[in-house]
Structure 1
Amino acid sequence: MDKYKKLATNTIIFAIGTFSSKILSFLLMPYVTGKLMPEDYSTADLIQQTANVLIPIVFLQINSAALRFALDKNENKSDVFTIGVRTTLKGFLAFLIFYYPVTLIKINDMALGDYAPLLYLFVLVSGMRQLCQQFVRGCGQVRIFAIDGIIATATTLLFNLLFLGPLNMGVTGYVLAIIASDFMSVVFLFVATKLWNDLHFHKVNKKTKIDMLKYSVPLMPTIILWWIINVSDRYMVTGFIGSAENGLYTAASKIPNFVVMFSSIFIDAWQLSAVDEYDSEDKADFFTKVFRVYSGGIFAVSSALILGCQLITKILVKPNYYDSWQFVPILIIATTLSCLVNFLASVYMAEKKSVMAMVTAMSGALTNIVLNLILIPNVGAIGAAIATVVAFAVVFIFRGANTKKYIAINFNTPLLIAEVAILAVQCIVMIKLKSGAMMYGIESALVLAMLLVNIKPIKELANKIFGRFLKKSK
């Protein structure tokens, strides 16, 4: 299959499975923010984020190795999955040793340790789901992967309505809904793909085990470093200011996920194509063209989202959360840069250079921590958003320079700088003017400018993909 057509086909399949689950998180916001006070919403989110950072530590990020090694045609798929499951179970048993210290954790006015049983259950079930998902995707069963996304959407909706509605379980119900949905996903993936056939109890290939751990272990600190950039500011906002302010900041951080939604749909498909085409002679041209279209689309979505962020905030959250909109424009810029960083991660994945992925992430994490400590006490939660923007910019510059050793992607730097500048001006205009005809006039003009500078590359790739479809249909 033509590489552009394959990328388009996989993107469509992943979109079917991913879009519904991503959009649900936004549609549930009015319901969730209506059931939980800002401080409770902050607690529920911190439980979820704490579990997300523990998963790569406890399980050595083995799910990423399951994806990468399942993509290798010469690897024994049964050994790959068995190694993943064994690592997951052994990691959880080791994690149980730390149960008592976890129960003592407290951040300012929030006692995270009170939810230790829920946290442990979240880590186990979500970690197993991630392993099964990535293995199935690496084996090329993208349709099953997509169907799983649809089922996860339905179950998440059902359990949220049940646990937060009639059962009125509050913070526990919000987190338990995610756990129950993940468990249903694991059951579906096992049954739909007969994963038990890839799970055995005899010895696995020792070289495969060592190679998988060599690949996954450096990714463990990498994921933690990403967590520092993306989430640690919520802990610092809670620590310096309190749970109520962090509740607003957390609500604001959900809206930029519109950008992540569009990005993740593509990235899931792109990772498969990046590995498949990495040994081709024209890989630099392929990566460059795809990056240009991908980045152009991300910038266009981000620009439109800044224009509409106040309206979206008003629709998605209850009135006592509305002031959270002031954080949204800056967080959209941060999310945009994170999407560009994630594209470059495909180079490290194809090269199996997980150590460099860690080193580059570390540069952003250190930047984020230092700026958070300086800005949050002085300018409040908005300082956390600014720190996140700078951190992702540092990582992108570092990765852009470093990946040239492996593949010469033409980033068109002047255009990238212009696109970032447009978003920055939009951000300043909205925060300064806040409302009015002048603000919306300037914002609309900037969105139009962003669309105009990105029309050409998007049209070119669309012709490459859909032109082939049209020719074959004649």
Structure 2
Amino acid sequence: MNRSDRVIKTTIIYFIGNFASKLLGFVLLPLYTAYLTSADYGTVDILMSTLPLIAPIFTMQVTESVFRFLMTDNNDEDRKKTITNSLGIFAAGVFIFVILYLPFLYKTNFKYGGLFLAYFIVTYMGIFLQQVLRGLQRTIEYAVTGVISTIVHATSNIFLIVKVGMGGEALLISSIAGSSVITIFMVFRTRIWNYIDVRRLSRIEISRQLKFGIPLIPNQIAWWVIGLLGKYILVYYHGVADNGVLAVANKFPNIIAIVNAIFLKAWTENVIQEYNSDDRDEYFSSGLTIFTVFTISVTAFLLPVIKIYNILTITGDFISAWKFVPLLLMGSSFNSLATFLGTIYTASMKTRQALTTTIIAAISNLILSLILIPVLSIWGVVISNMVSFIILYLVRIRSVNNIINLQVSFIAIIPSLILLVTSVYIYYTMNIYGQIFSIIIIGLATLYLNRSILFNLFNFITRIKITNK
């Protein structure tokens, strides 16, 4: 199987497993806006958004290290060593968190405190086991867990909110239920106990994994600053209701993040496998150019689609969310491009450079947020995030070129940028009929700009048909 076929096959498998679950928040958005107040939704959003800040500190990012090392483990003995030691680090981190958290919970008795504890443990146990499946290259089973989680999450959400009449706690309980079911499934499906051998616990192996994972802790926290600190500043100056509106507006940029995150899972595996190939630089450069055109053009196409969706479905306290979508989408696009560059750090195991570049963007975001949010409210968050993601992308372009010789074809990117500018103009100036017309025109342009992807996909499907005859 050639490179393109391998990436396409893995992407399709990940798409099946991840797209529905990632899109769930968007699909259920009308349910949330109809049954929950902006304050209630904003409170739970803040709580769930806090997890990415806390979890890396206590898990030591072993969810990343276990995947990276399993990808290059050549036999079951090496895999036992990797999984045993990473699970030991994970268990120790969770234990420390529980010991520190319980007195805090007892003294404060804050709303959803018990649910948050369960949410943390179950969610990250599920993530850990999913990363084990990826590292073992059992991608189909990984995809199955995504489908199962989506079904459980969606049904429990609808039941608890509509039938039982729960508020924000329904979102946490549904997430816990989905993660619990797939955790049980993965434990028995992988027979994880066969990969656990306490005799394999090794100070050297633990040190190796921590050396990879520890730089990713402040890196992840810096990501939190970029993506979430603005929410806290917004709540402080303008209240949780504004954060509820922002949370709704952010659901739409998540579409770009969802699609690209699925592809980047497959691409990361490919980068690791191709890192030592002779034509590595040319191959990665071509991949970046194609991915950039895809991301920008799809962003342009989504804008009129989102505008129509907003007009038809979003009501009540959340109706103003549509105004913030274009800049949020552009920020999400640059975030995806920066993440694409970050796969080079994973493959080369130079995670410290990932940390350095992310900190630069986080500091930029912090400064802009403190200046803009008190004055501009939600617009301050939106502008700060977009600018910081652009900075992250530019810094990483320069940083990655110290590892490989990466050349981007800016001539190939210009048409997609023109398409995006046109789409933004249409989004703010035209009525629903203009948006519908633009979907057709921009959609055709997007297909043309991404014809190389469609060509490779067509060839892949053709080869499968020939093979199956």
Q: If the length of structure 2 is used for normalisation, what is the TM-score?
A: 0.92
Following superposition of structure 1 onto structure 2, how do residues 426-445 of structure 1 map, counting pairs within 5 Å? 426-427=423-424, 430-431=427-428, 433=429, 435=431
Query: What displacement does 1:217 show?
Result: 0.7
Following superposition of structure 1 onto structure 2, how do residues 150-165 of structure 1 map, counting pairs within 5 Å? 150-165=147-162
- Matching of residue 323 in structure 1 with residue 320 in structure 2: yes
- Matching of residue 303 in structure 1 with residue 297 in structure 2: no
SS at match of 1:246: helix
Query: What displacement does 1:198 show?
Result: 1.1
Structure 1 counterpart of 2:62: 62
SS at match of 1:231: helix
Contact residue 430 and residue 439 of structure 1 kept, 8 A: yes
Structure 2 counterpart of 1:370: 367
CA change 1:456–1:160 in 2 (3 A) is closer
Structure 2 counterpart of 1:72: 72
Moved more, 251-260 or 23-32: 23-32
Query: What displacement does 1:237 show?
Result: 1.3
Contact residue 429 and residue 443 of structure 1 kept, 8 A: no
CA offset digits 1:70-114 (Å, max 9, x no partner): 101247111222222222221122223432685599xxxxx9943
Matched to 2:38, the amino acid is: P
Query: What displacement does 1:251 show?
Result: 0.4
Query: Which of the residues 272, 276, 280 maps onto 2:273?
Result: 276
SS at match of 2:112: helix
- Give the count of matched residue pairs: 467
Structure 1 unaligned residues grouped into runs of 5+: 106-110
CA change 1:202–1:73 in 2 (3 A) is closer
Aligned-residue Cα RMSD (Å) equals 2.6
Structure 2 counterpart of 1:402: 399
Query: Which of the residues 142, 147, 167 maps onto 2:144?
Result: 147
CA offset digits 1:380-418 (Å, max 9, x no partner): 201211111111111111111111122222212354466
Contact residue 296 and residue 458 of structure 1 kept, 8 A: no
Structure 2 counterpart of 1:120: 117
Contact residue 103 and residue 114 of structure 1 kept, 8 A: no
CA change 1:441–1:145 in 2 (3 A) is closer
Structure 1 counterpart of 2:358: 361
> CA–CA distance in 2 between the matches of 1:386 and 1:87?
38
Query: What displacement does 1:328 show?
Result: 0.8
CA change 1:278–1:468 in 2 (3 A) is farther
> CA–CA distance in 1 between the matches of 2:440 and 2:298?
13
Structure 2 counterpart of 1:131: 128
> CA–CA distance in 2 between the matches of 1:163 and 1:440?
36
Contact residue 301 and residue 442 of structure 2 kept, 8 A: no
- Matching of residue 458 in structure 1 with residue 453 in structure 2: yes
Query: Which of the residues 80, 83, 104 maps onto 1:81?
Result: 83
Query: Which of the residues 237, 244, 249 maps onto 2:246?
Result: 249
> CA–CA distance in 2 between the matches of 1:174 and 1:438?
36
> CA–CA distance in 2 between the matches of 1:89 and 1:348?
26
SS at match of 2:276: coil
> CA–CA distance in 2 between the matches of 1:278 and 1:464?
25
Structure 2 counterpart of 1:185: 182
Following superposition of structure 1 onto structure 2, how do residues 188-207 of structure 1 map, counting pairs within 5 Å? 188-207=185-204
Query: What displacement does 1:441 show?
Result: 6.7
CA offset digits 1:346-401 (Å, max 9, x no partner): 10000001110011111111111111111112222012111111111111111111
CA change 1:459–1:117 in 2 (3 A) is closer
Structure 2 counterpart of 1:96: 98
CA change 1:104–1:354 in 2 (3 A) is farther
Structure 1 counterpart of 2:342: 345
- Matching of residue 169 in structure 1 with residue 166 in structure 2: yes
> CA–CA distance in 1 between the matches of 2:454 and 2:142?
29
Query: What displacement does 1:473 show?
Result: 6.7
CA change 1:442–1:272 in 2 (3 A) is closer
Contact residue 426 and residue 443 of structure 1 kept, 8 A: no
Contact residue 348 and residue 356 of structure 1 kept, 8 A: yes
CA change 1:240–1:305 in 2 (3 A) is same
SS at match of 1:166: helix
> CA–CA distance in 2 between the matches of 1:303 and 1:139?
37
Contact residue 59 and residue 89 of structure 2 kept, 8 A: yes
Q: If the length of structure 1 is used for normalisation, what is the TM-score?
A: 0.91
Matched to 1:275, the amino acid is: I
Contact residue 102 and residue 116 of structure 1 kept, 8 A: no
Structure 1 counterpart of 2:6: 6
Moved more, 146-155 or 281-290: 281-290
CA change 1:459–1:141 in 2 (3 A) is closer
SS at match of 2:168: helix
Structure 2 counterpart of 1:385: 382
Structure 2 counterpart of 1:18: 18
> CA–CA distance in 2 between the matches of 1:184 and 1:54?
23
Moved more, 179-188 or 25-34: 25-34
Matched to 1:64, the amino acid is: E
